[in-house]
Amino acid sequence: MSTETVTIEKLGAQGDGIASDAGGPVYVPFSLPGETVAIARVKSHGTIMSIAAPSPDRQEPPCRHFGPDGVNGTCGGCTLQHLADRPYRAFKRQLVVDALKSKGLTPDIGEIVPAHPGERRRVVFAARRTEKDMLIGFNQAESHHIVAIEECPISSSGIVARLPAIKAIAASLATRAEAFRIAVLETLSGLDLAVDEIKKLSDPQRRKAIETVLALRGIARVTVNGEILVEPSKPLLDFGGVSVSPPAGGFAQATKPAEEAMAELVLAHAGRAKRIADLFAGAGTFSLRLARIGRVHAVEAEANALAALDQAARKTQGLKPVTIEKRDLFRRPLMTQEFKPYDVVVFDPPRAGAEFQCKELARSAVKKIAAVSCNPLTLARDLAILVEGGYRITGVTPIDQFLWTSHVEVVATLEK
């Protein structure tokens, strides 16, 4: 390890400040462009010792657990709390600009739809029993060390207020010192907790855990390793006026405002389409909203998510017909001829994107496509495939769903 002084030139794609010397780039977390900082350096990684010239874009982080001086260590959840709002939003929008430009795409890109504190309804905690207490928090960056949190400004007040209840449930389940995960989703009927990576429960432990949950308020369901332990009330999400009971531990958009912003863009692009295909449909975030416009065919690989979508569609009056298909679109994408019935195709894949699906879609005659993505780099690759196939990008909107991180959602619209 060496100590040296460097000047930060830019922010990297992960939010670290980057300096450079003859040996190559040096990555310095919690630094900002233009700052002169003294660092302790190990290879290409620098830890800030002091800041000689702070950037005018630097702000006081709103959370006590953020940064190198965070309580109990640096919480690994946020990386950019020290960057003021305007440059922060510009940085995230530029990630999308740069990703598309890397594939030769230069469409007009809208201003980013901002995120705000207290909006996160889905978080994943790390937990571990110690000799003295039950730890609940987030892993320190690139570490297995759990930073016990006392506040979380990104999370909804409903989750933060129930941290003691989550801790009590974790304590009733943990028998050993190994760390485990608790995915928490705030639903209309209470918190839905999915506990994973924990040892199988004995019967007495199971009874104790159930008694603990039933004695608490605001808990809708607890599942352990995919099995429902107790469900005091069915968890419910609202997808554009349609009530959906999500599968335990299943995917849901992290914030309601971001979900609604994405859905609004997708629905506006769909217009008055009569036949719509929704690929990677999940539990129906877009399908159930689109079914108020036209007939929807929802394709998804996860059986539990598809079942939740199907059940919600059957129970809701006023929707156009919704058909479902369980299909792994990575292994078996819809073929070009299968798109003939559809006016609009919507796809919202995982971070890996939809490369093979887009190659088939590019050869189709579908008039409109709405592409939703949580990864600008794979989105750029997929859009380039569609553009080469004769599609024109008509809109690109970045959406901030993961506040104070380098992750950004995007909705792109295309026409043949």
CA distance 69 to 41: 18
Percent helix, strand and coil across the chain, each rounded to 5? Answer: 25, 30, 45
Q: Which residues are annotated as a binding site for S-adenosyl-L-methionine?
A: 253, 280, 300, 348
Catalytic residue among 78, 152, 358, 374: 374
CA distance 400 to 257: 10
Name which of 370, 334, 369, 375 is nearest 353 in CA terms. Answer: 375
Helix and strand counts by DSSP (H, E) for the chain:
9, 22
Distance CA 273, CA 295 (A): 8
β partners of residue 18: 10, 27
Neighbours of 196 (CB within 10 A): 14
DSSP 333-394: PPPGGGGTT-SEEEE---TT--HHHHHHHHTS--SEEEEEES-HHHHHHHHHHHHHTT-EEE
20, containing H or E segment:
strand 17-21
At residue 400, what are phi and psi to the nearest 5 degrees?
Answer: -90, 115
Q: Helix or strand or coil: residue 270?
A: helix
Active site residue 358: no
Q: Supply the residues annotated as catalytic.
A: 374
